[in-house]
Structure 1
Amino acid sequence: MKKMKRILASAGATVILLTGCSSVGNMDFTQYAVKQMEIASMESKGVTTINLKYDEKKVEDKEALKLLKLFSDIKITAHMINENKDTMSIVGTITVRKGDIPFKLFLKQEEVILQLDNASKPIRMIDKTGSPSANNENYIATIKKLTPYIVKHLPNPSTLEVTSKQDKVLDESINGKNIHVEIYGDEIPSLILSFMEGISKDKEAIEVLVNTINETDASVKLTTETFQKELDTMVVKLKEQLTTLKQDKTSQQLFSKNNYIKADILVDNKLHERKSDMTFHFAFPIPDESGIESLKIESKNENWNINQPIKAQNISATQYLTEEQLGVDRGGKNFLDTLNKESSVLYDILVNDLGIHVDKEK
């Protein structure tokens, strides 16, 4: 859960590390990535839209078609507050074709509270698998140690530009740099191969990777010689797979220019990510009975109050739904009973569209 918070808080850095970049426009991408990891508190707001394009005539399953009509266009607006590394809240709205579904989420250490569509009883869960803060700090320290070597060997995509830019976040004027990146499907195989080849030839990087793996799990006892051999084998196999990909029509469609990630990321003079505008597009290579042709996700986000004292918004209630109450045979009814039958969009969807019935007593 805490790792997911990190990803949500620095989506731009995630894109940069996925696409790769060496020095461009006097931008230190290693420091940029590390700076996002060092953010202890932050406030942000954003809008994400999800669109599934489909051919209704090709959808063979009528229940699947019903779901596509309901959820093929989704808009999520969210206001997120990261109070610290263990506490955060999100208040937002999920908009589907039937209307708006407000939601609230509160996380504090291993406690998770979720309120959907103004339910009279929020759901309260204990994340028993959550790692303590000390382990989380060790995880971040490990990633920081590896980041310089990862960034060093990640090749640039065909489109990567860094330009000076002035913009506004809320009412604050930001002087910084705009990172514009585009990565297309037909570039991905060669980018991966280039990265693997670079790592396999860097003795210092291999030593750091091996030491990190052994520190993380003492039972592994990996040697640099063994790791080197595994990397060399992987590079050979990747080269063979690239040759196969070029001859396979399905793979050609999968790794094509129709599939891409595009992003514009505003970074301030402290290398903190302040604004981002991202698009992900994936065209399904083989038409089948699902009728789905493509998936498009667009996200706009801006951040402020970075490393400032802020408070997450708790969700207080006199009663909560527990995991035990949701897990029993009447768990569906227990949840539906917390929703307003007259005005709740979520209740309407669950009962009238998805067929969850509440009138059958056990």
Structure 2
Amino acid sequence: MKARTKWLLPILALLLILAGCQTVGGLDVNKALLGDLDVKSSESSTTFSLNAVPAAGISAEDQEMVDLINSFSVNIAHVKLQDNGNVSAAGSVGYKKLTVPFTLFMDKEAIVFTAEGAKQPFYFPLESYEEEFGVEGFDPTKAQEISKLLTTFVVKNLPNPGAINVSSVNEAVYGQQLNLTKLHTEITGDELPALVKSFLKSVSKDTEGFTALISGLYDYLYPILKASGMDESLSDLGLGDLPLDDKEGVVTVAHDAAKLAVDALLLVYDNQVKNLYKSTPELNTILGKDTKLQVDLLVDSGFHIRKQNLDLKVALPASEDLPLQSISVKAETQTWNVNGAVTADAISKEGALDLSETQLTPGQTLRSFDQNSAVYKLLKDDFGITAKDIVIAPDDDYYYPIVENGTTYVPLRYLAEDLDAVVKWDPVNKAINVTDDVYGDVVVFKVGSAQVLINGKAVKISEPVFVDEYGDAYVPLRLLAEALHATVKVDEYGYIDIHRP
């Protein structure tokens, strides 16, 4: 099962977008699906939850995992989209019996977020593509235009599913009663292959829309190709000798090549689907009648979606690796103040921790939160971010353990850094200082000395610290591991198991 799940995400993505595109009950579904593309500002809220249904005869351990999945929820109580593109969000994440409030702010420069119990905000700069990837000619505004053009093209060619209807309703949105048009659609997993085939057929026939899409992609990509030096001919792209600055010719060639690829796929589509089901029998369950997507879109007179309810249930085949009958996702969203005066709630970057410059260790992550906070307890106790398990064989070719008078010695730096400790050379005292990542304990070793300092307290060891022919300082394995809050066990075959909770 695990080896074959890589195709699941794109299948689910298709399930989510195939919500119909033709006129139903007087409602232009195209406009309903595309109406939000012109929204510049708004306020909204969203709730999200999971529900896993266990398979029969599930073990107590697996049931515990199911309960954890079902305890997860996200409540984004207030999202503010400002007309300049700034976005803020405030909400909470639920897990087990804990609730963790959070806030987030994003502008063109950075994402800043914080959570209850955090000692400072967290900051992640949004570098431009030119800075991050060295891509010249990139225009973010063009990317937005292409996104809109692509969405329009896809929605235009989507077929209607079997179950789709429209009704008039009166519902409250953020406390205001509104007359809305409700579009309800249902899609089962076994409908998907036929819907995809219908979509491909429509794309093949949509010469005008396909050409417009490729023309828009040309306007977006040509400056980037020119800046990178790939602007002389289509031969660089494997499409012939036509010069790239001939837009009309390039668009025509690209359209014909893309249409040919779609038509070729349609010729073998049925056989390919049949072979896929045969080689991957799990698909008969995942894309069967028990997998269902239900979507309600409540649209106002301006074709803006004011409420969305999504319920996706995915049936799962029997498996020891995944002992579930099904897993469901529910999401509910309501939107108000559409294109009104909205100001996103900024979070100051002053004192924030820059995540782009810091590779946080488990200890640094924990120290970013108050020890009594819910996040601290989740990270340490539930997610076990400090947990480490290291196994050293008697003939290990990485640690090269050496036994002297019944004591096992290993290279200090290798084991200490694998336990996230910081190792520094003290040239003044000619000592090696090891600082525990989580608790901050300091262990001091001196080459040639049989005395070790642990938090300032002297401890005798049976043999002095020594350096091997490669320059690695060897120290007693058990003493170092236990000083860094790990336990050490040796089995009957001489394998050493080091565990830090």
- TM-score, normalized by length of structure 1? 0.84
| Pairing 1:188-207 to 2, within 5 Å after superposition | 188-207=192-211
Q: Distance in 2 between matches of 1:59 and 1:346?
A: 29
Q: Is residue 354 from structure 1 mapped to residue 383 from structure 2 by the alignment? A: yes
Q: Give the structure 2 partner of residue 256 of structure 1.
A: 288
Q: Distance in 1 between matches of 2:166 and 2:130?
A: 37
Identity value in percent: 23
Residues 57 and 130 of structure 1, relative CA distance in 2, 3 Å threshold: farther
Residues 95 and 170 of structure 1, relative CA distance in 2, 3 Å threshold: same
Q: Which runs of 5 or more residues in structure 1 are unaligned?
A: 1-13
| Secondary structure of 2:211's aligned partner | helix
Residues 57 and 324 of structure 1, relative CA distance in 2, 3 Å threshold: farther
Q: Give the structure 2 partner of residue 5 of structure 1.
A: none
| Pairing 1:226-237 to 2, within 5 Å after superposition | 226-237=257-268
Q: Distance in 1 between matches of 2:109 and 2:53?
A: 38
Q: Distance in 2 between matches of 1:142 and 1:152?
A: 15
Q: Is residue 296 from structure 1 mapped to residue 294 from structure 2 by the alignment? A: no
Q: Give the structure 2 partner of residue 25 of structure 1.
A: 25
Q: Distance in 1 between matches of 2:16 and 2:298?
A: 12
Match 1:312 to one of 344, 353, 358? 344
* Bigger relative CO (Cα 8 Å, ≥ 6 apart): 1
Q: Distance in 1 between matches of 2:340 and 2:15?
A: 25
- TM-score, normalized by length of structure 2? 0.62
Assess if the C-alpha contact under 8 Å between 1:110 and 1:130 holds in 2. Answer: no
Q: Give the structure 1 partner of residue 272 of structure 2.
A: 241
Q: Give the structure 1 partner of residue 309 of structure 2.
A: 277
Residues 15 and 138 of structure 1, relative CA distance in 2, 3 Å threshold: farther
Displacement after TM superposition at 1:122 (Å): 1.2
Assess if the C-alpha contact under 8 Å between 2:142 and 2:220 holds in 1. Answer: no
Residues 258 and 230 of structure 1, relative CA distance in 2, 3 Å threshold: same
Q: Deviations over 1:63-83 (max 9, x none)?
A: x88765534421211111111
Q: Distance in 2 between matches of 1:131 and 1:258?
A: 47
Q: Give the structure 1 partner of residue 243 of structure 2.
A: none
Q: Distance in 1 between matches of 2:195 and 2:291?
A: 15
Q: Distance in 2 between matches of 1:184 and 1:112?
A: 38
Q: Distance in 1 between matches of 2:51 and 2:27?
A: 34
Report how many aligned residue pairs link the two structures: 343
Is the deviation greater in 228-237 or in 285-294?
Answer: 285-294
| Pairing 1:337-348 to 2, within 5 Å after superposition | 337-342=367-372, 344-348=373-377
Assess if the C-alpha contact under 8 Å between 1:33 and 1:147 holds in 2. Answer: no
> Who wins on radius of gyration, i.e. which is larger?
2
Q: Is residue 120 from structure 1 mapped to residue 151 from structure 2 by the alignment? A: no
Q: Distance in 1 between matches of 2:350 and 2:16?
A: 44
Q: Distance in 2 between matches of 1:131 and 1:106?
A: 23
Assess if the C-alpha contact under 8 Å between 1:210 and 1:227 holds in 2. Answer: no
Q: Which runs of 5 or more residues in structure 2 are unaligned?
A: 1-13, 132-137, 226-236, 238-249, 387-437, 443-501
Match 1:333 to one of 363, 368, 389? 363
Q: Give the structure 2 partner of residue 43 of structure 1.
A: 43
Assess if the C-alpha contact under 8 Å between 1:41 and 1:308 holds in 2. Answer: yes
Residues 71 and 153 of structure 1, relative CA distance in 2, 3 Å threshold: closer
Amino acid corresponding to residue 276 of structure 1 in structure 2: Q
| Pairing 1:101-112 to 2, within 5 Å after superposition | 101-112=100-111
Q: Distance in 1 between matches of 2:333 and 2:119?
A: 30
| Secondary structure of 2:380's aligned partner | helix
Assess if the C-alpha contact under 8 Å between 1:262 and 1:280 holds in 2. Answer: yes
| Pairing 1:8-157 to 2, within 5 Å after superposition | 17-55=17-55, 69-78=67-76, 79-129=78-128, 135-157=139-161
Q: Deviations over 1:141-160 (max 9, x none)?
A: 23444455433331110111
Displacement after TM superposition at 1:55 (Å): 4.8
Compute the RMSD of aligned alpha carbons: 2.9
Q: Deviations over 1:302-354 (max 9, x none)?
A: 111111111111223752112256405xx322231232212x22211211223
Q: Distance in 2 between matches of 1:288 and 1:312?
A: 47
Assess if the C-alpha contact under 8 Å between 2:173 and 2:307 holds in 1. Answer: yes
Residues 37 and 136 of structure 1, relative CA distance in 2, 3 Å threshold: farther
Amino acid corresponding to residue 213 of structure 1 in structure 2: L
Displacement after TM superposition at 1:238 (Å): 2.0
Assess if the C-alpha contact under 8 Å between 1:52 and 1:296 holds in 2. Answer: yes
Residues 57 and 115 of structure 1, relative CA distance in 2, 3 Å threshold: farther
Q: Deviations over 1:242-298 (max 9, x none)?
A: 333565632211211221211111101111111111111112224132324422111
Residues 200 and 265 of structure 1, relative CA distance in 2, 3 Å threshold: same
Q: Deviations over 1:78-135 (max 9, x none)?
A: 1111113521111111111131111111101131111123312111110225699x94
Amino acid corresponding to residue 299 of structure 1 in structure 2: A
Q: Distance in 2 between matches of 1:65 and 1:40?
A: 45
Structure with the higher helix share, 1 or 2: 1
Q: Distance in 1 between matches of 2:41 and 2:15?
A: 21
Q: Distance in 2 between matches of 1:56 and 1:162?
A: 39
Q: Distance in 1 between matches of 2:84 and 2:59?
A: 44
Amino acid corresponding to residue 266 of structure 1 in structure 2: L
| Secondary structure of 1:249's aligned partner | coil
Q: Deviations over 1:147-178 (max 9, x none)?
A: 55433331110111111122111232211200
| Secondary structure of 1:137's aligned partner | helix
Residues 346 and 254 of structure 1, relative CA distance in 2, 3 Å threshold: same
Residues 172 and 324 of structure 1, relative CA distance in 2, 3 Å threshold: closer
Q: Give the structure 2 partner of residue 8 of structure 1.
A: none
